[in-house]
Chains A and B, each alone.
Chain A
Amino acid sequence: MNISKTLQDQSIILYIEGRIDTLSAPELEDYLRSILKKDNTQIVVDFAKVDYISSAGLRTFLIIKKLAEAKNKKLILQNMNQRVKQVFDITGFTSMFEVL
């Protein structure tokens, strides 16, 4: 998994590439926690280059969503492929996030 980022006004956009799974999820969580410490009010996560996500990755986004809400920050997930979206849909996670 690789992560790159761009800044746009008060938003930080994160582009994730590869697999979000048992082995990569802890690294992603650490990264997202560090992003939450910054001043940006909105975090956008771009899934366009994500191959797949397992429940370990969902767990990470659940934790980060709760932390973001506690800090009044907005978390947006965008550009999921059909496979990734399917995992969010069948676990009921789609309705818990702002998914574009």
Chain B
Amino acid sequence: MPSSLTIDAHKQEINKAIVFLKDYVDTANLSHNLFCLFAVSLDEILSNIINYAFDDKKKHTIKIDLNFENKKLTATIIDNGKAFNPLLFPSPCLSLPLSERSPGGLGIHIVKNIMDSVSYERNENKNILTLVKVDD
């Protein structure tokens, strides 16, 4: 059954999204592992949007849709910030020694690796990112 939540684009609101996810996963009787993988992904995607999508001081919101169907959980994250396709962000160089490592770009790299699929579209001035993972 689909469910939606809209949060303010503010760091403290990320926890509301995680609670929303937990409630959805518990109600649908999905695994704790699936919850954790989506929680990591939401933390990464929402913090990216909050930190980089908006150049003005206006109040912005982010919408999160969850839907479990055919053994797959789908999370769709929609914001009206500047166009940004995270899938085009270059992968971090993982072979650098510790002294030269910076954590930039790690978030989307993690999401791409722990989800079964990640897709992006820009529609009506909105960024729409869709994450899909089968509940094993």
Contact between chains at A52 and B36 (CB < 8 Å):
yes
Contact between chains at B94 and A92 (CB < 8 Å):
yes
| B125 contacts chain A at the CB level, 8 A cutoff | no
| A87 contacts chain B at the CB level, 8 A cutoff | yes
Given contacts A54-B44, A92-B94, contact A23 B14 (CB under 8 A): yes
A19 and B42 CA atoms in complex are apart in Å by 13
| B114 contacts chain A at the CB level, 8 A cutoff | yes
Contact of A52 among B11, B40, B101 (CB under 8 A): B40
Q: How many A-B residue pairs have CB under 8 A?
A: 71
| A29 contacts chain B at the CB level, 8 A cutoff | no
Cβ of A5: which chain B residues have Cβ within 8 Å of it? none
| Interface residues of B, count at CB 8 A | 29
Contact between chains at A91 and B36 (CB < 8 Å):
no
Cβ of A100: which chain B residues have Cβ within 8 Å of it? none
Question: Which stretch from B64-72, B81-89, B105-113 is at the chain A interface?
Answer: B105-113
Q: Which of A48-76 contact B (CB under 8 A)?
A: 51-56, 58-59, 62, 65-66, 69
A90 and B91 CA atoms in complex are apart in Å by 11
CB distance from B114 to the nearest CB of A (A): 7
With A21-B43, A90-B113 already in contact, 19 other A-B pairs whose C-beta atoms are closer than 8 Å: A19-B18, A21-B18, A22-B14, A22-B43, A22-B47, A23-B11, A51-B36, A52-B39, A54-B44, A54-B107, A55-B44, A55-B107, A56-B43, A59-B103, A59-B106, A66-B98, A83-B33, A83-B36, A90-B114
List the interface of chain B (C-beta within 8 A of A).
11-12, 14-15, 18, 32-33, 36-37, 39-40, 43-44, 46-47, 92, 94-95, 97-99, 101, 103, 106-107, 109-110, 113-114
